Amino acid sequence: MSAREQENRYQKRSHSSIKESSSSKPGQKKSRTSFFLTFTILFIIWLILSGRFDLFHIGLGIIACTIVTLFSGDLLFTSPQIKELALLWPRFILYIPWLLYQVFLANLQVMYLVFHPRMLELLDPKIIEFKSRLKSDMSRVTLANSITLTPGTITVFVSVYGDFHVHVISPRFAESLPGEMETRVAKVFGE
């Protein structure tokens, strides 16, 4: 095949790929929805954190949020079922007060350990392992972050298969894992 024929073939391929990419695909609707949702969330956060509502700061917010959304808009909403997010947020918001209550209780337990006269005898740090029944990456990440937010426990490792390694400062903290927290996270994500 001559160089001329190869060049013609290359041009035909590139023209057909341009036509394919310019046609509307189902994925484009998802990316537009994902872009819009990401931009909206970022812009609301910008408005809250900046505290300035003049034209200059709103303009800066629009520019900054657009740039961040262009570079990382597909990171926040990776699921193809974006409509399910409408159901997820109310359940997640209901999960937050329960999590804050668990953080408060764990703080009391850590405080008890710290002020106990036999603290060194009560402390027995170890890494525990358990297998989670959670299926999606987002639910596993939520469980891992919830465990880490709770004083006395730190998620060290999470595998794609749902294996968790958690550092606990006392066997008392290991008793509740995975337990009710995993059940509530599963309920939030509909698993």
SS (H, E, C) 44-65: HHHHHHHCCCCHHHHHHHHHHH
Looking at residue 2, what is its pLDDT?
A: 53
pLDDT band at 165 (very low <50, low <70, confident <90, very high): very high
* DSSP annotation of 128: E
* Domain ranges, residue 49: 3-76
Tell me how far apart the alpha carbons of residues 9 and 15 are, in angstroms, rounded to a whole number.
10
Q: Are 149 and 103 within 8 A, CB to CB?
A: yes
Domain co-membership, 49 together with 104: no
Domain co-membership, 111 together with 164: yes
Tell me what the mean pLDDT of segment 65-85 comes to.
Answer: 74
Residues 114-146, buried b or exposed e (16+ Cβ, 10 A)? eeeeeeeeeeeeeebeeebebeeeebbebbbeb
Domain co-membership, 95 together with 145: yes
Domain co-membership, 181 together with 95: yes
Domain co-membership, 96 together with 67: no
pTM: 0.62
Looking at residue 83, what is its pLDDT?
A: 60
pLDDT tens digit sequence for 33-67: 778 888 888 899 989 998 888 899 899 999 999 99
Domain co-membership, 91 together with 184: yes
Looking at residue 135, what is its pLDDT?
A: 87
* DSSP annotation of 80: S
| 3-state SS assignment for residue 36 | helix
- Take residue 86 and report the two structure tokens written for it: 């409408």
Looking at residue 5, what is its pLDDT?
A: 56
Question: What is the H or E stretch that residue 22 is in?
Answer: helix 3-22
**Mean pLDDT taken over the chain:** 80
Domain co-membership, 63 together with 123: no
| 3-state SS assignment for residue 138 | helix
pLDDT band at 30 (very low <50, low <70, confident <90, very high): low
pLDDT at residue 19 is higher than 50: no
Tell me how far apart the alpha carbons of residues 120 and 113 are, in angstroms, rounded to a whole number.
9
Tell me what the mean pLDDT of segment 122-130 comes to.
Answer: 89
Tell me how far apart the alpha carbons of residues 42 and 48 are, in angstroms, rounded to a whole number.
10
pLDDT band at 118 (very low <50, low <70, confident <90, very high): confident
| 3-state SS assignment for residue 126 | strand
Domain co-membership, 112 together with 41: no
Tell me how far apart the alpha carbons of residues 2 and 5 are, in angstroms, rounded to a whole number.
5
Domain count, the chain: 2
47 contacts: CB under 8 Å, gap ≥ 6: 53, 58, 61
